[in-house]
Amino acid sequence: MGEDRRLRAVVALARGMAAAHTPQESWRAAADGACRALSGSFAALSVWERERGLLRVLVNVGNRSADEEEFPEDETYPVHQFPEIAEFLHERWLEGGEPNAWVETAAGPVADRRRGGYCHQRVAALRRRGRGCCVVAPIVLNGRAWGELYVARPAGEPVFHGDDAAFATVLASVVAAGIAQSERLEEARRLAFTDSLTGLGNRRAVDLRLDEAMEAHRRDGTVISLVVCDLNGLKKVNDSYGHAVGDQVLERFGSVLSRCAAELPHVLAARLGGDEFCLLAVGPSADEVVRVAGDLCARARDLEPGDGVACGVASTGDPIGPLRSARRLFRLADAAQYRAKAAGSMEPVVAGREGDDGEDPVVRLADRPPAPVDPAHPGDRRRIRGRRS
């Protein structure tokens, strides 16, 4: 391959990874770009999991065999089967600079027949899958061995040579830079949609998921349920014990909320801000969500210090009327939560049940004269009117 062609291949690989929007797309762009650059028929990108002692395949591209998926769920190989990986994992290569790629062929050494199979796992894999040769390039990220880039050619095709291995080393460096960029972007995305104190989703994550859920609801009637809950007595905890203890209560409740969310599929647990949290369920029935909300209330009563949680539920699976906007679902869940708080209820209050007609509380209150204010709960109705308008 001429120098100009190789340079174009490097640029194409870098551009492909830069254009990726997800880690999976980045992995595929890396493997596909390397496969094209080296005129291979197959390529894989793998990560070395030190804590598990495994080489885990992230993506396979090109002419895959029957046992190779594009994004395998659990295609792993014990590191001890690959002595060269163990060497890199122990970072012996640091003494002489970053590791270089090397070439393997299907004509490699054969094992002792008494033990069966081949003594070299890469040779065994080449023969088993009808490939004639491969080039393996270690990937180094932040000064540590991260994984490897693997490109193969079928039996009968020209065997990779030394110049190909040197070029693969260059490609691995480009891939490492792309992976680092992808990981930084993924971390930025994670932070943008994560509450820093509890590790739960934040309001932005809820809004995004709810917009997607609304599309599904309009399209096929998918049930959407929203549980809004407010920790009781957090101000008292902050005033009595300090904000550090208050933060611990928020963190502990976040763990309880996350545990309850795990009882149902397709549920997002989030902190909306301050002492307000929510569960957004897409798909499960209203009864299932109400059951989980009841479990949440029961678990929250055991948190110390604190006075449990006020919980409101609104679900399209209940008679709440047509859902024209995500804002209306929030209003209904909010109003139910405030009714729970006003009544001191230890159980969730559900919009559309127990005589509730499911009418939008903001619209309903706007059309009525002001209601008498309960001295025990001053401003309750006014707070409902002012929420998320």
Q: How far is the C-alpha of 51 from the C-alpha of 37, rounded, in Å? A: 32
Direct distance between the N- and C-terminal alpha carbons of the chain, in angstroms, rounded to an integer:
64
Alpha helices in the chain (DSSP H): 3-18, 23-37, 83-89, 121-128, 162-192, 203-220, 234-241, 243-261, 286-300, 326-343, 361-366, 380-386
Long-range contacts for 67-73 (Cβ within 8 Å, ≥24 apart)? 68/44, 68/129, 70/28, 71/24, 71/27
Q: Which tokens in the block code for residue 226?
A: 């929203």
* Strand duo 349-350 + 309-315: pairing: parallel
Cα separation of 35 and 310, whole Å? 57
For 146-242, where are the alpha helices, taking DSSP H only?
A: 162-192, 203-220, 234-241
Beta pairing partners, 366: none
Residues with active-site annotation: 275
Calculate the CA dihedral of residues 318, 319, 324, 330 and round it to 10 degrees: -60
Strands across the sheet with 276-282, in order?
Answer: 267-273, 276-282, 224-231, 309-315, 349-350
